[in-house]
Structure 1
Amino acid sequence: MGASATMTTPTLAVQAGRQTTTTVVIRNAGAVVDHFTVDVIGPPAPWATVTPNSVNLLPDESTTVTVTFAPPRTADVAAGVVPFGVRVFAQEDPEGSVMAEGELDIAAFGEVTAEIVPAKVEGASGATFEVAVDNRGNQATPVVLAAVDPEADLSFDFRHTEVTLEPGTTAYVRLRVRPPRRFLRGQPVRRPFKVTVTPVGGAVVVADGVYVQRQLLPKWVLPALAVLLAFLLAIIALWFTVFKPAVRSAASDAAAKQAAEVKQVAQAAQQDAGAAKQQAGEAKTGSDRALRAQGVDPAQPPASDPIAPPRTPAPPPAPATAPFDRRIAADAPIDADVRRFREFDFVVPENKTLQITDLILQNPRADIGTMRVVRRTPDGRSLMFEFGLGNFRDLDHHWVQPLVFTSGEAITLAVSCQNPPEKGNCTPAIALSGRIEG
């Protein structure tokens, strides 16, 4: 027998971020001087230390070593009871090595943080935010979300008001903010608000956001209308001063020439009509003679067959219309070249017409890189949108006059992914809504 080990306190309790200790008495049960190495095995091994970690003992001699456990205050250290062992290895008699077993009870702790992403959004009729809730504690934590603004004017719509987060995870909850009323013209109005995240049995966490309400009428509309009005007035002036007299003179000359040609054609047609009338009279006289030779009175009207009523052609069938919802998802590998894009597209089927009224850009994993939405036609490509992936989670676009894509055209999602290696591929997406005809 090489050694024996006795732990003074085999059951320990500790809080994450603090430390606790126990002692192990080691005795050389062999007949020779031996060197013993002491270490800890099991889940607590990465944050356990033994002092001293090796001893030399004479036969029947014993000594005490101290084992210290210092679990870090992170979500990686789960709350609960974990087993461990203190192993004593005898160099001279390896078969005489022994191990003392114990249990470590790690106390639970909660730490929840919240952030509104992005912190400020502008919009005329509302805005979409995402509330990022992080559970940095070492146990599963249910949370309740609510929102309030100082003036109590805004309305809030959470996708989920209650979420349970596992240790070390993040939940993104979509929040739609709407103003009490909209205005056509005026200065932007800042509307700050707060989102409260209340963990069960924990302190309330508050995140601040700002919704900037803009006018419904875009700023460029009035200058554009002024320019258009000036252009129309210039066209009207040119028409009455330059183009109209020239057009009237040219029209008079063309009308006189056309009238002469028409008169000439009418005279020729009149001559042809007289000759045709004479020929028709001669043909009728010959026909009457032939009928009398056959014993038929040309004055008696012939029996007429019933005439079938004309058939009205059926109207062509109206094109079939159906709702359309499609999500184009990307799975772009990491690429150091920011100019290289991986493309994913949807092509409008043959003999179909697609009308898009809603387009939502999604980046739920907060990927890093660039997203483009491209329209591809037989004549070429045109860029519709381009965003940095790190600047948003969800972005909504709506059109009163739908975007129309005809058969063979395509909507392409192009992604250039610059995620760090540990994050993996970029997986943004676009969601399309509208109607398809054909």
Structure 2
Amino acid sequence: MLKPTISELLKTSLRSILKNKGRTALTSLGIIIGVTSVILLTSIGNGLKNYIAQQFESLGSNLIYVLPGKVFNESGGFGMNAAQGLLSTSFSQKDIQNLKKNLDTVNVVIGNVELAGKAKYRNKKEDVTIVATGYEYGKVSNTIPKEGKGVWFSKEDEAKKANVGVLGADSAEKLFGNENPLGKTVIINSKNIKIIGVAEKKGGGLGAGHLDETIYVPLEVGFSFAGNRNIQSILLQTKNKEEIDLIKKQTEKIMLKNFEEDEFSVADQSQILSSINSILGTLTIALSGIAAVSLIVGGIGIMNIMIATVTERTREIGLRKAVGATPRAILLQFLFEAVILSCLGGLIGVLLGGAITQAINQFFPAKVTFISVFLAFGVSFAVGIIFGVTPARRASKLSPIEALRYE
């Protein structure tokens, strides 16, 4: 008997699979669930990375952050005691002045304070994040109101401790609707704040939407909200990208005069972004690994069904061997069926995962990549091979005489 061609194996396998559509669907279900989950999780992970990178870009360029506590460990990731440091360490105006005095080549040095707040205008109330900062922050962070949307508070406003503020785009819309907020007074935590501008929209979703649900006020006004003069973080902007590493080292040296090494961290945007991406990557792999359990379950299901199929088709196998089919041809036949079952589940899983990704992308960043699709098909193929070998070998080793006697 001639060796069966790939096209013949495919045709025979498809005929066999399509004879029992219900069984085929149930057999592929585990693969479908596993591949869908892996596609979905990797898509969300990739989408998050891209989204966070875009958010960092929108915050400005050539930025260095001085943060309380030892935020990063020796390997560059986030430290275990980062949260403790955030609570135990704070900075002061003196620290800002020291940095300004000793760093001649930076554009700005700004202190920041963030607080939770309640905004009220007439009968409307909204939660807002109060960001108390310097007059330079608007330009540095690309938050300056567009033409016709008012202005950012000035150096004079900051010096006079003026109760003025710039509303985030979403907060302005929620509180005022179609009404022009400029010149209106909003009550923030029982304090009257005159709105002088509406900030450029940063883009919502994923927690970073709080950038649009914000009111920016002068730092001194923020101190009155907080009830103390503690500064939570310090922002520096270098004149060019090449100076970042040098300024970071100089900043650390200056800060060490008043703080212990584990009481503060100096980081640039790329360092923070790299650490976040590392965490997201690890989390995505871990969750995908959990989802991959469904693929193993699906593979076991394929193996069991194929073993049952071998038993059901024992006489057919005996007849084929009697007319000249080789054990290798029988093995390939059943192995092809297992692989097609698995890849069919993989295809449906990819399509389903892609469709769900497109749906949630309207509300949450997600992106299907070629690598994740290629990986899904590769894993599906491998599952079919691995779990199809046992039933295929069993079929190939059947004695034609005993098989023909089987009832």
Higher relative contact order (CA 8 A, sep 6+): 2
Question: Higher Cα Rg: structure 1 or 2?
Answer: 1
Q: Tell me the TM-score normalized by structure 1.
A: 0.15
Query: Whose strand fraction is larger, Structure 1's or Structure 2's?
Result: 1
